[in-house]
Amino acid sequence: MVADLVQAGHRVAGTVRDPEERNKNTAQTLREMGVQVVDIDVTDDASVEAGVAKAEAALGHIDVSVSNAGVGAYGLQENFSGADFHRIFDVNVFGVQRMIRAVLPAMRARQSGLILNVTSLHSRLTVPFIGLYNAVKWAVEALSENDRWELSQFGADVAVIEPVGLPTNFFANLIKPSSRDRDTSYGEFAGAPEAMLQSVGESLASNPL
């Protein structure tokens, strides 16, 4: 999508966490496309505010903000601790809100702007073993619907994108429960999440992009 936007003549700022070290290759690829790379950690208020300010300075203003930062969660819901919940909500929900809050003042002042929040098919369809992921995506849908109503008089619009499962690195980076201490009491059913994940992986592999 980024390459398409650049080729269509749009000026694009791409946010990357730690672009000079951990994600150096990704950042370099974006720069070669003509993208203005901005360092943003969506779990940090100051990082988001500084990154958005840098993007606005580079682009003049931000017409469209796309929030697609997210991490998946998979496993028996009872096994996820409170810390697990906080970690995943911090990226998928609080991170989206941080970005929205950072870009909105300028959009409202110009009476123009679009916020696109990437949710998921699972914001509409509950599937076993991804209950925590369902929860965060449902939360973003609710935030988006409320913002769309509140911002309608200020010329800013909000929309969501609900992609389906695709054969990407998303599944390789799923966060699993930090504890498996409840497995024993679930008996044989404790093995169901891994069996289902394997089946999903095989299905996606047989239907490449």
Distant-in-sequence contacts of 100-109, Cβ < 8 A, 24+ apart: 100/65, 100/67, 100/143, 100/147, 102/48, 102/49, 102/52, 103/52, 103/62, 103/65, 104/151, 104/156, 106/56, 106/61, 106/62, 107/62, 107/154, 107/155, 107/156, 108/151, 108/154, 108/155, 108/156
Distant-in-sequence contacts of 169-174, Cβ < 8 A, 24+ apart: 170/72, 171/72, 171/197, 171/200, 171/201, 171/204, 173/71, 173/72, 174/71, 174/72, 174/73, 174/74
Question: Could you list the active site residues?
Answer: 133
